[in-house]
Amino acid sequence: MRNSKISIIAFYTFLEATRNRLVWLVVGFVVIGFGLSQFVAEIAIAESASFQSSFLAAVLRFFAVFTIALFVISSMVREFDDKGLELVLSLPIPRYHYFLGKLLGFSVLAIMTALFCGLVLLVHAPPAQVAFWVFSLSCELLIITALSLLCLFTLHQVTLALSAVMAFYLLSRSIEAMQLMAHNPIIDSDSLTQRIIEGFVDGVAYLLPDLARFTSTDWLVYHTGSWEELAPLVVQSAVYLALLTGAALFDLYRKNL
Amino acid sequence: MKVLKLWQPQTRARSVKFVPVPVLVLLAAGLAAQVIWHGTRAPPSATASDLPVPPDLDALRLSSLGDPVATAKMLMLWLQAHDNQPGVSIPFRKLPYDRLAGWLERILELDPRGQYPLLAASRIYAAVNDEEKQRFILDFVYRKFFEDPNRRWPWLAHAAIVAKHRFDDLPLALTYARAVSNHATGPDVPNWARDMPVVILEDMGELEAATVMAGYLLESGRVTAPHERRYLMQKLEELERRQVGAAP
């Protein structure tokens, strides 16, 4: 019974996405991205296949992250504005059922988006490598989905929530480079300021997922993907999903309707 | 106070006691797991990436989205910072200078009026402790000088000074100095740059050639400033005296 409540909310969440023609947007972008990658291959004087697959993969990854974040946030804002949340919670449904249902519905959408993006990459890379890429992108999108829900519960507005999600995403992807820069400054220094900067960057890194290791274009271009590389990504995704779910539920339970 | 009220949330959140214990446990466990997981991961290691082959000019123009000057400026900053990658510092002499010159050439093609690429070539990349690479990059400056002599003369003039004082290669310095003197004829080119060949020829002991050069500059009509004409005439007299003195 409990599962059926969660799955019903998930089903209607997914149904909303299909009726919003989001699937067509994804298909349209995949087609346009493929066309652009053909164009990039035409103007590259060498390694045109590598250019093509890396360009397409990078464009699709960013598009998928941005689209999923925007859809989750705008869909939830509409739900709040239409008093859908109040309606659902007036029924004998615990708040965590509502949250998990929403998360599940959006997650199915995120995985489908990753699959669509992967289909077109099969033209350029071996199926096994594309499978690694799709799996990793799915994990990345699941984190973004949960984060978007958390940001909306906390910040209540589209602009603030989307900015926070994008800032988090860019920071998570570049935190490794920031750590290296903080620990190896151009001018060697052992000053207090330097140590504070190092400590601050390291502290931030502890709280962020290692997204720089996710969805690597190397797998598609140099075929270096393996299950050994995916295992840490699975653990990281599970850990971070637990953290985001906890934080989002914390905010949802404190929400005054 | 009204401003402060704007920052307050529209609805007050309920107390923490409304949050079920399993949710608090999940939040705490998730946070702890994240910190532990991050702690067990190997710290990031720095690996230097090679300078890539410069792309085709058409590709760069396309990716500039109609703003080649801004793209050229950004590429120049990227190229300049290539020696300082996250966690790794690469000495300039370790850079592949053929690729480096290729990038500088592309940046000049995107922004022909930009001075930064040749400034970097003559002042930064020519300062490495490797004479072969120094000569290579100065030759690049020499070749690019002819495309816009009136703007690019300072970098070739600097190349002439490097060739004279660092390589002690006076014929090379003379080649660069002559190119500046003969091709940079704009009003902004200073006298000393025009007169460089005379000084170098004198240093080489080519007194006759130096005399001819000084005479040519005086008669060409390009030297109009009185003090420069006076300097050249004094130099001409001095060279003629030395020639007479040196004659058997």
Prediction ipTM score: 0.79
Contacts of B203 (CB under 8 A, 6+ apart): B164, B170
Q: Does residue B52 belong to the interface with chain A, where contact is any CB pair within 8 Å?
A: no
Q: Does residue B33 belong to the interface with chain A, where contact is any CB pair within 8 Å?
A: yes
pLDDT at B10 over 60: no
CA–CA distance, B209 with B197 (Å, rounded to integer): 10
Taken as a whole, chain A contains a residue count of 257
Q: What is the pLDDT of residue A139?
A: 96
pLDDT digits (tens, 9 = 90+) for B204-241: 877 777 777 777 777 777 677 777 778 778 877 887 78
Q: Does residue B20 belong to the interface with chain A, where contact is any CB pair within 8 Å?
A: yes
Minimal C-alpha gap between B88 and chain A (Å): 7
Instruction: Calculate the CA dihedral of residues B149, B154, B159, B161 and round it to 10 degrees.
Output: 130
3-state secondary structure of A46: coil
pLDDT at B8 over 60: no
For every residue of A149-181, DSSP letters joined together read HHHHHHH-SHHHHHHHHHHHHHHHHHHHHHHHH
pLDDT digits (tens, 9 = 90+) for A153-174: 998 889 999 999 999 999 998 8
pLDDT at A206 over 60: yes
Residue A179: its chain B contacts at CB < 8 A? Answer: 43-44
Q: Which token pair is B92?
A: 């300039």
% of chain B at pLDDT higher than 70? 90
Q: What is the pLDDT of residue B48?
A: 66
Using left for φ > 0, alpha for ψ between -120 and 50, and beta otherwise, residue B42 falls in: beta
CB contact under 8 A, A186 and B84: yes
CA–CA distance, A179 with A170 (Å, rounded to integer): 14
Handedness of CA A121, A124, A127, A128 (dihedral sign): negative
Contacts of A2 (CB under 8 A, 6+ apart): A97
Q: What is the mean pLDDT of residues B144-156?
A: 92
Residue of B247, B168, B179, B243 lying closest to B211 (CA atoms): B243
Q: What is the mean pLDDT of residues B34-39?
A: 91
Between chain A and chain B, the number of residue pairs with CB atoms below 8 A apart is 105
Q: Which amino acid is at B65?
A: L
Q: What is the pLDDT of residue B67?
A: 81
CA–CA distance, B149 with B205 (Å, rounded to integer): 28
Residue A206: its chain B contacts at CB < 8 A? Answer: 34-35, 38-39
Contacts of B231 (CB under 8 A, 6+ apart): B191, B195
Q: Which token pair is B143?
A: 């070749």
DSSP A256: -
CA–CA distance, A193 with A191 (Å, rounded to integer): 5
* Consecutive H or E run containing B202: helix B191-203
pLDDT at B85 over 70: no
Neighbouring CB atoms inside 10 A of B215's CB total: 16
Neighbouring CB atoms inside 10 A of A220's CB total: 25
Question: For chain A, which residues lie within 8 Å of any Cβ of chain B, measuring from their own Cβ?
Answer: 40, 43-46, 96, 156, 176-181, 183-184, 186, 205-207, 209-210, 232, 235-236, 239-240, 242-247, 249-251, 253-256
Candidate from A177, A179, A254 with C-beta closest to B18: A254
CB contact under 8 A, B29 and A246: yes
% of chain B at pLDDT higher than 90? 28
Q: What is the mean pLDDT of residues B114-133?
A: 88
Q: Which amino acid is at A201?
A: V
Higher pLDDT, B7 or A51: A51
CA–CA distance, A134 with A136 (Å, rounded to integer): 5
Q: What is the mean pLDDT of residues A38-54?
A: 73
What's the pTM value of the predicted model, to 2 decimals? 0.68
% of chain A at pLDDT higher than 90? 52
CA–CA distance, A114 with A134 (Å, rounded to integer): 6
CB B131 within 8 A of CB B169: no
Give Cα separations from B245 to B199, B238, B239 (angstroms).
19, 10, 10
Helices A127-155 and A95-121: crossing angle in degrees, nearest 10, is 150
CB A171 within 8 A of CB A206: no
